[in-house]
Amino acid sequence: MTRVRVATRASELALAQARLVASQLERALRVAVELVPLSTQGDRLKDVSLAKVGGKGLFVKEIEAALLDGRADLAVHSAKDLPAELHPDLALVALPERADPRDALAARVRGQGLDALARGARVGTGSLRRAAQLRALRPDLEVVPLRGNVPTRLRRLEAEGLDAVVLACAGLERLGLAERIDERLAPERMLPAVAQGALAIEGRRGDALARDAEALDHAPTSCCVAAERGCLARLGADCFVPLAAFAELEGGAVRLRALLAAPDASKLLRAGGAAPAGSAAALGASVAERLLADGGHALLAALRDDA
């Protein structure tokens, strides 16, 4: 039986996600899968703002290097960690079916949702996107910067006297921690990150195994992520940008909503649109253009100056 080496980050969540994909590869391709866990620069910089040290690429550089030098045959990523542009010799070959894309609120007092938190409550998040939307929804809250893996963030909820933390539903579910979710925040209130809840399989462009791995692709997920990443690419956004983009299929069309914000929520730009599913990436670019025309150029310039 062919052995396939799959590169992944070494965090608990990344390994859980890679095991999910490994089992799908084994069933679909009749291969044996060996995980190749790697520590990325983003994992090592636990208490540093990613926006100040290189952004999303910090979670993929070492993994892509393993693909390029032959230490791995495929790679599994959280799709929301991927920068807008990939290495030219690599490609996203499949996106399995997306998990719950929503954000989750985990409260210290079990059962409390966002609206039930007391005035002045301390809410932890490591995401500028979440922080901006929290401030817009509840200006009275104290938003506390928070990094670390999912279990660490949940522990800090108690250890640091936080009233709640906001995480991804998908990550909690994949770690068997779905019961820790006190509220699943509807996209109408908290628009998700680009590709949140989706996993991405990356391979060497033109490689036979990469073509075989396309069997794991879930077409509706790929369509929605293409729209969201189209918006990301046109804006040239990274971790320093509070950007949200969420696409849904409605019949044969894809509908995209996007938000670009100032970190302090002093400005929130929203745009949306719909297009045939075959034009998903172009839809993302056109929605980004609307954001730029509505003040996005100036907002992005200010964000880059502050980063």
For residue 3, pLDDT over 90 is answered with yes
* pLDDT at residue 305, as a whole number: 80
CA distances from 198 to 108, 171, 193, 194 (A): 28, 10, 11, 9
Count the Cβ atoms, other than its own, within 10 Å of residue 38.
19
Sign of the Cα pseudo-torsion (281, 283, 289, 294, in order): negative
Burial class (CB in 10 A: 0-12, 13-18, 19+), 2: exposed
Check whether residue 129 and residue 276 sit in a common domain. no
> Residues 132-175: pLDDT tens digits?
999 999 999 999 999 888 999 999 998 899 999 999 999 999 99
Clarify whether 81 is annotated catalytic: yes
Are 205 and 234 contained in the same domain? Answer: no
pTM of the model: 0.93
Q: Out of 32-46, 51-65, 108-122, 172-186, which region has the weakest mean confidence (pLDDT)?
A: 51-65
Residue 296 in this model has a pLDDT that exceeds 80: yes
Residue 193 domain-assigned?
Answer: no
Residue 108 lies in a domain: yes
Mean pLDDT, residues 67-81: 96
The reply to whether 19 and 30 lie within a common domain is: yes
Counting the structural domains of the chain, the total is 3
Of the pLDDT bands very low, low, confident and very high (cuts 50, 70, 90), residue 130 is very high
- For residue 45, give the 3-state DSSP assignment: coil
CA proximity to 199, closest of 280, 94, 126: 94
Does residue 256 lie within any of the structural domains? yes
Q: 253: which strand partners? A: 250, 276
Would you say residue 161 lies in a domain? Answer: yes
Rg of the chain (C-alpha set): 19
For residues 92-121, give the mean pLDDT.
Answer: 97
Residue 191: inside a domain, yes or no? no
Stretch 287-304: mean pLDDT = 95
109 lies in some domain: yes
Query: Are 87 and 8 in the same domain?
Result: yes
Same domain, 13 and 83: yes
CA 157 to centroid of chain Cα atoms: 22
- Work out the pLDDT band at 42, boundaries 50, 70, 90: low
How confident is the model at residue 191, as a pLDDT? 98
Q: Are residues 134 and 79 both part of a single domain? A: no
- The pLDDT of residue 53 is 46
Share of the chain above pLDDT 90, in %: 84
Helix and strand element counts for the chain (H, E): 11, 13
- pLDDT, residue 147, reads 86
Supply the pLDDT for residue 111: 96
| pLDDT at residue 46, as a whole number | 54
Task: Evaluate whether 74 touches 92 at the Cβ level (below 8 Å).
Answer: no
Neighbouring residues of 213: CB distance < 8 A, sequence distance ≥ 6: 25, 29, 74, 93, 94, 201, 203
Q: For 207-246, what is each residue's pLDDT tens digit?
A: 999 999 999 999 999 999 999 999 999 998 877 789 999 9
Residue 190 falls inside a structural domain: no
Q: Which of 43, 47, 81, 103 is catalytic?
A: 81
61 three-state secondary structure? helix
CB 154 within 8 A of CB 289: no
CATH number, domain with residue 256:
3.30.160.40
Domain of residue 307, residue span: 219-307
- Measured over the CA atoms of residue 48, residue 301, residue 247 and residue 284, the dihedral's sign is negative
